[in-house]
A and B are shown apart, each in its own frame.
Chain A
Amino acid sequence: MNDDFLHRMRKAPPPGFLEELKARLDRQPNVPPERKRLGFGRGMIVGFLIAGVAFATASVSLTGWPTSASQFFGAPLEYLTQAFQHRNDSAADGSHTKPAQLGPWFPVHANPQTEPPPSTASAAALDSNAASTNGPSAAASGPQAAPSGAFAKPTGPLAGGQFQLGVQREIHSFVQSSLKGSWAGSVKLVDLPANDIFVSLCGYNNISSPRPDALITSRRIAAEPSCKRAHAHQIVELKLGYQAIVLARSKLYAPMYISPRMLYLALAERVPDPADPNRLIDNPYTTWSSTWKESSAAPPDDRIQVYGPAPSSPAGRLAAQLLLEAGCNTFPRLAALRDSNYPEYENACHQLRSDGHYSETPQGNDMTEMLNINPTALGIFTLRGFQVQKNRLNANPVSDVMPEYVFLGSESYPLSRTLYLYWAVYSNDWTRSLFDYLISPSFYETRYDLPWGFVALDEAESAMNRANFEARKYVQF
């Protein structure tokens, strides 16, 4: 593309500046502190000690509390003997090599080619093709008895054969309302806090809290430290869609400049004390101009008034998150709470004020009529809802970004978020039909009651999503 006019504006920095900066950098210590290392001998001893403790602990849990010293020391050998014996048996008869009996800490996985998962009653219901692939007997036989030397029989929720879908707590209601009909009984939703959601997928869990087969979340997985540390693999990232809201005013008034920080200061129940930002106080701001410090383009001195869904409703909770979170995160102390103290983060960043500046639209009143009567007020709409009314309303941009689909895709519209579906491919091949349903256009086209605030993918993104699903393109960490 002809972009020379953009390239030619580059220029070299002043030579004196570069030299002076380099000299300053060179004066700083440039030798990193030497890390203390164990000597070779000490390192070997420590390594053996750690390995011995780990092995002994594992063997005790595998075989139970030993009744004698010989049993304790013999347990590891017994375990290894069983493991290799079984491996040799499987290799000899040409069947798929199953992992050795690893005890309760490792999930049990089936070979999708030759055998069903340990609990197949519900798994077969998820995919009608499973029965034809593996034979009706496999699906109908129910939980499989563990053959000797093979997996431990799963306990806890896995034994019920339900597909485990981890869901970020804030979007639970959306997922629950989406999974209706035949899926509802086959999928177990597991609520997870946003700051910890990927640990469940990438870390190892006890069998009583099994690793979910998939996750639905608004966070991206690629930078997740726990997944990088665990060298997670075979995880596919798909998009479910977006959640977005629109702020709109009557056409009697032009839109005004609003930033996420202004919205937070205007609508949160408690905000940082201007005199002491480390302390939260009841929201003192009453006008839009009072949420600004200094500007030559201050917003009007209008009373803060926003109408929207009831704060206690699922729609209201979604509106609160989208309205407040971005601005709340501009305060570093509050943003840090998201990972360190999530309940406190929710209290600070997800609670709408209840003193009348945010109000539920009264029943029976048309929102647009209310905005015409009170033209300085703002109303909260879904994207679809606004499109129906756009001849009578002005959408208010946020940080100069209009609520348009293209800005949802580029994640630059502040009052929106993307919903991601992360599928751990190793876990269960029977989940395919569930995902096929969730990412297919028919999921949206056949429904007239899509969850409030949900925006489906357009044709292009939907096609890309489908391609990644079919190709199983794994996230690279």
Chain B
Amino acid sequence: MIVQNTVPDRSMDALSSEELDWDALYADLAPRVFNYFRYRLGRETDVEELTSRTFERAWRARTQYRRDLAGFSTWLFKIAQNVGTDYANTWRTHLPLEVAHEIAIDDSPASHAERRSDLARLAALTATLPARERELIALKYGASLNNRLIAELTGLSESNVGTLLHRLVKTLRTQWYGPAASIRDE
């Protein structure tokens, strides 16, 4: 349910396409989009490719950006979400995105290290979560978005986002610091 009585964002997001400082926006948002894909995919592979695609699409579509439709961050991350979805649909027809990390890309020492990394561990813990919950984690901790923007992107209410995130973090923290990192079937 939408309950939006917030003060409009008067920051950079409120400018039209002609007024935007693209250099500053790029510097601010590129790392966030990069980390959004890292969290969403649960690995390093293909993250740069998806980040590039997102900005190339945003750049091509920048004349279509209208400040009355959405804040710029929301607009850019909507593009990122679509890029991620297209990637999942074309890479495999039916497999969910989270299965990707189970398939070894190569057997190099670097990939071994990656598989042991915190990111891979997080991916394993979140693999059994619904797609929406994984998206929340990627938007909150990868993209560093606030709950209001996450709510706009996911169609949830802001309070719902807060509640779900709180519950998720609590569960993940228990699994992270617990004696076993085994995945439970829900």
Interface residues, chain A, with chain B CB atoms under 8 Å away: 1-3, 5-14, 17-18, 21-22, 24-25, 28, 30, 32-33, 220, 222, 228, 237-239, 259, 261-262, 291-297, 330, 397, 399-402, 407, 409-413, 464-465, 468, 473, 475-476
Does the CB pair B142–A10 fall under 8 Å?
A: yes
CB distance from B131 to the nearest CB of A (A): 6
Q: Say if the beta carbon of B77 comes within 8 Å of chain A.
A: no
Q: Say if the beta carbon of B113 comes within 8 Å of chain A.
A: no
Q: Given A5-B173, A21-B30, check contact A465 B39 (CB 8 Å).
A: no
Q: Say if the beta carbon of B80 comes within 8 Å of chain A.
A: no
Closest A residue to B177 by CB, please name it: A5
Q: Given A28-B59, A409-B160, A476-B2, check contact A3 B39 (CB 8 Å).
A: no
- Give which listed residue, B94, B119, B128, B156, contacts A295 with CB less than 8 A: B94
- For A407, what are the chain B residues with a Cβ–Cβ distance below 8 Å? 130
CB distance from B178 to the nearest CB of A (A): 12
Q: Given A2-B173, A25-B26, A400-B130, check contact A294 B59 (CB 8 Å).
A: no
Does the CB pair A25–B56 fall under 8 Å?
A: yes
**15 A–B contact pairs at CB < 8 A?**
A1-B166, A5-B118, A9-B39, A12-B31, A13-B48, A21-B52, A25-B22, A25-B55, A397-B186, A400-B129, A400-B130, A401-B130, A401-B131, A410-B130, A412-B130
Cα–Cα, bound, A413→B133 (Å): 11
Does the CB pair B156–A6 fall under 8 Å?
A: no
Q: Say if the beta carbon of B72 comes within 8 Å of chain A.
A: no
CB distance from B163 to the nearest CB of A (A): 9
- For B99, what are the chain A residues with a Cβ–Cβ distance below 8 Å? 295, 297
- For B56, what are the chain A residues with a Cβ–Cβ distance below 8 Å? 24-25, 28
Cα–Cα, bound, A473→B51 (Å): 38
Does the CB pair B63–A32 fall under 8 Å?
A: yes
Tell me how many residues of B have a C-beta within 8 Å of chain A: 63
Cα–Cα, bound, A238→B159 (Å): 15
- Give which listed residue, B4, B69, B89, B102, contacts A475 with CB less than 8 A: B4
Cα–Cα, bound, A348→B56 (Å): 34
CB distance from B166 to the nearest CB of A (A): 6
- For B110, what are the chain A residues with a Cβ–Cβ distance below 8 Å? none
Closest 5 CB pairs of A and B: A412-B132, A476-B4, A32-B63, A293-B93, A401-B130
Q: Given A259-B96, A295-B94, A464-B1, check contact A9 B130 (CB 8 Å).
A: no
Cα–Cα, bound, A13→B38 (Å): 10
Q: Given A13-B51, A25-B26, check contact A1 B186 (CB 8 Å).
A: no
Does the CB pair A6–B89 fall under 8 Å?
A: no
Interface-central residue, A8, A10, A262, A401, by most chain B CB under 10 Å: A10
Does the CB pair B1–A465 fall under 8 Å?
A: yes
Cα–Cα, bound, A471→B140 (Å): 30
Q: Given A293-B94, A399-B96, check contact A5 B176 (CB 8 Å).
A: yes
Cα–Cα, bound, A104→B11 (Å): 44
Cα–Cα, bound, A1→B131 (Å): 22
Q: Say if the beta carbon of B181 comes within 8 Å of chain A.
A: no
Cα–Cα, bound, A296→B103 (Å): 9
Contact residues of B between 76 and 106, Cβ < 8 Å to A: 89, 92-96, 99, 102-103
A-contact bits for B155-186, CB 8 A (1 contact / 0 none): 11001100010100110110011000000001
Closest B residue to A261 by CB, please name it: B94
CB distance from B127 to the nearest CB of A (A): 8
CB distance from A194 to the nearest CB of B (A): 16
Q: Given A13-B31, A262-B94, A294-B93, check contact A468 B131 (CB 8 Å).
A: no
Closest A residue to B96 by CB, please name it: A399
Does the CB pair B63–A33 fall under 8 Å?
A: yes
